[in-house]
Amino acid sequence: MDVVCDTLMVEEILPRLPPKSLVRLSAASRRYNALALRPDFAARYWQRAGVFVQPDEEEKPKIPFFLTVSDVEAANLGFVADLTFLPDSGLVIAHSAAGLLLCYNYNNGINPTHLYVCNPVTRQWVALPELSPLSSSYWFGLLTVVGGTRFQVVIVTWPLHDLVVFSSDTSLWEARQILLPPYFCDYYTLDVSPVLGQSGTSYWIQPDEDKAIVYNSTSAAHNYSIQVINLPPQYIIGCEQNRCLGEPHGGGGGGLGLRYTHANDSVFEVWESEVVGFEWKQRDKVSIAVLMELNPEAATFLRNGDPAAGSSLHGAFTPLGFHPTDDDVIFVALPGAVFAYSIGHRTLNLLQRTHELESATPADVFPYVHPAYPVQIPPVKNSSIRQESRTKRGSIEVPVNEGIEQRKRLRDQACSQDS
């Protein structure tokens, strides 16, 4: 009888629950927890793989999109790129790593004050201590998670003088110096938006050059974490602003290889390197005209924009990013739509009909992988600004209160302790 009940739970009942509710149900008993973590169930319920896309806007941030291999798969996952469970409005994704997101309040795009580490699947989150004003309005953040027990956030500003680093071990923001190679600023620029990898590595593709600057935030010696790498030569004209870097499945950044693509109005190329910046090999090269012949639906968008909108927009074939686990898939934007391009099959599968992503660049794309189990946020030690109070029952930590009122109460408590 128990076997029949367990089968009914796994096949019919548990899949209908939202992840946040399933986390709480799992905390109610060891039996429910075991069912929620059964390999056959967990693989299809918890696992997510795709990219978040959130175009950078000067006035108001756009709602993020989550793209995966197909629109059918996205519907089956029931996963929406929705950050409304966080207490602040107008939040922007800064980085993604180990199934978690680093987000910040927009604040007119300058000097974020509130940053959050969250799990968009289980909707658990923690607020970081308030960040003091930065020395520059140009900045980005990198999140790294170590062994699932602690995390680090590195804020990088330009001009690149200091790093601001938060560790969950200390619950403090600390300034650290970074030394650049001699004459670095005379030859290279970091005032372009970088592509951020899941490994905690940032990549600045240099304008009008076949080079990129690489910074690895996980390096123990920050003084030696900046390097210059070569990119495949631009044999095709007009692709300078239409280039994209990505890490292979499992993350690069530590010498584990890179992926690269560039395109113009006539040619689309894909390259791979087993060692970061060395021995690039061309994996795919296809004429845009041939690709459109093979994919008439995509050709309609490229010629006329979104046919449903009756527009007459003309635009480029724009690579946005690589799928984080499927090495065959590249996400591509055309006027009025986003497609998943299969290298092996030369097919373009329509994912989204939208004009919201026409301004998106590879710097607005965040690869995201959630494993086949509920990822917990490492605790912030010795913090007086803990966002969530939690109780722990069984093997899953359960948030017992969330939202603005909880955050206000914790702030009041911290203020009363200081006084």
Query: Is 280 found in the same domain as 320?
Result: yes
d(CA 191, CA 180): 15
What's the confidence (pLDDT) of residue 60?
64
Query: Is 95 found in the same domain as 18?
Result: no
Asked if residue 339 belongs to a domain, the reply is yes
Last residue within a domain, chosen from 344, 369, 394: 369
What's the confidence (pLDDT) of residue 106?
72
Query: Is 84 found in the same domain as 145?
Result: yes
Asked if residue 394 belongs to a domain, the reply is no
What's the confidence (pLDDT) of residue 304?
63
202-234: string of b/e by CB count within 10 Å (b at 16+)?
bbbbbeeebebbbbbbeeeebeebbebbebbeb
Asked if residue 38 belongs to a domain, the reply is yes
Query: Is 221 found in the same domain as 124?
Result: yes
Query: Is 104 found in the same domain as 9?
Result: no
Query: Is 177 found in the same domain as 134?
Result: yes
- Here the CATH number for the domain that contains residue 251 is 2.120.10.80
d(CA 15, CA 221): 45
| 419 residues of the chain, pLDDT tens digit each | 465 576 777 666 777 777 777 777 777 778 777 877 777 777 778 888 999 998 876 666 678 889 988 655 555 555 666 788 888 877 889 999 999 999 988 765 566 778 999 999 888 899 998 888 777 777 888 999 888 788 999 988 877 667 889 999 888 898 887 777 777 777 887 777 889 888 888 898 988 788 898 888 876 554 447 888 899 887 666 566 689 999 987 555 445 689 999 988 889 999 998 877 678 999 999 999 999 999 999 998 877 654 444 443 334 788 999 999 999 999 999 988 899 999 999 999 999 888 887 778 898 999 999 888 888 898 887 554 444 433 332 223 323 233 333 433 433 443 333 34
Query: Is 155 found in the same domain as 52?
Result: yes
Asked if residue 121 belongs to a domain, the reply is yes
d(CA 205, CA 65): 24
Q: What residue numbers bound the domain in which 14 lies?
A: 1-46
Gyration radius from the chain CA atoms: 22
CA-based end-to-end distance of the chain: 60
Q: Helix (H, G, I), strand (E, B), or coil: what is residue 137?
A: coil
Asked if residue 390 belongs to a domain, the reply is no
Query: Is 266 found in the same domain as 155?
Result: yes
Query: Is 201 found in the same domain as 80?
Result: yes
Asked if residue 202 belongs to a domain, the reply is yes
Q: How much is the pTM?
A: 0.81
Count of structural domains, the chain:
2
Query: Is 121 found in the same domain as 264?
Result: yes
Query: Is 52 found in the same domain as 26?
Result: no
Query: Is 118 found in the same domain as 213?
Result: yes
d(CA 214, CA 227): 5
Q: Sign of the CA dihedral 313, 240, 368, 154?
A: negative
Asked if residue 378 belongs to a domain, the reply is no
What's the confidence (pLDDT) of residue 285?
94
Asked if residue 385 belongs to a domain, the reply is no
d(CA 374, CA 119): 9
Q: 265: exposed, middle or buried (C-beta count within 10 Å: 0-12, 13-18, 19+)?
A: middle
